[in-house]
Structure 1
Amino acid sequence: MTAAPGEAGLRRILAVVDLLIDAVDEETLLPALLPSLLRTVPGDSLVWSVRPYLPGEPVVSLPRDLLSPRELAAFAAHRARDPLVAHTTVGSGVPMRRSDLQTRAETRRLGAYAEVYRPIGAEYQLAMAFPAGRGPRGRRSVCCVVNRSARDFDDADLAAAALLRSRLSHALTRLSTEPDPPTAPRGAGDGITPREAAVLDLLARGLTDRQISHRLGVSPRTVDKHLEHAYPKLGAHGRVEAATRWLHRRPPP
């Protein structure tokens, strides 16, 4: 039987969940999310990669710049023969330890071990992958790998990762998926984002923050943040004025 996270582990999981619920966009989410993930599934470093990979995009890691250009090139050359990479690319992507797939001797024979894993202290690894909505190239996924140098991951670490995986997928899908075009404001010069437009549409129909949050699958705090960002763009100073101005600016149904 897989061990469940203890009380402290559950508190760290809930801290990650709170971040995901309140997230407005990925750009501001990741700097807070990655350290929180590394506390929840403790390790020496973490790599967060979006697939399909877009040339020129930096690899996101903690610590920053964990992988040099030379190590990234070596990883690309050897990844096809790495069973953990295969698991997160064409396998189920559920949280998996490298030690569940290979012995230590087999790991050390990998081409990527000498050129990538050993230099960055990734003697032990726990990896998972999950759907993350749509990007410039269509459907995308995220692979998250936690590395350790001194000891392997235990069943509680695996359980914590499993509890977070579906929540990470849901949050990243929500942040990457824009509302249908009719919710977008008329005119491109006002700076209203599609997500702000969706909130304003529901506000103009008389819904409360809690009702809007339930309809859009976000927290009331996130709804409030969207409104705070939208007020100056509309030249409004409160909910009533914002709703009134939005009613006169949104496209007809």
Structure 2
Amino acid sequence: MAGHRLLRHYARTRDRTPLTMDEVADDRWWKGEAYRAGKDAIGIDRQLALPLGSAPGRIRGVIMSRSGRGFSERDLEYAALARSLLDTVEAHEAAAFARPALADPADYKITPRERAVLTLLCEGLTAHVIGTRLGIKPATATKHTENLYRKLGVHDRVAALRKAHYLGLVPPPS
């Protein structure tokens, strides 16, 4: 894909205008191996790129292909409208399903095993059930819970869960 003219154009310019291969390719492309491979494999000889929003250093988009006739100005207008709709859908999806990044338990000197116990405490499980799930004795689960209380500066389960949510150590309840 490094030689794909549309991708190179978007990587180099950060332009988000829908373009066709006809607009960015030179004779080397049309005579090159990548063009022939696409034409031989699936019979396409025309492409339209629809760049989408992406993080810096990344390229995201849709490439539409067809054989025979090129893409018209009207096709490019529809592509621009489609890009706007797809960007809007992505923004809504990101807002609806975004999960805040969790804090690093190491910042609070919480071990991976204690983090596992904390996660199971959030499910409302007892020391006996936590021990069974983690393959440890209930007394060991209780000891991990006591260590969590000390490290979080609390004295009971409810306070530990509230503090863990506040600190971002566990996801907020759904």
**So what's the TM-score if we normalise by structure 2?**
0.49
The structure that is strand-richer by fraction is 1
Structure of higher RCO (CA pairs closer than 8 Å, 6+ residues apart): 1
**So what's the TM-score if we normalise by structure 1?**
0.35
- Quick check: which has more Rg, 1 or 2? 2
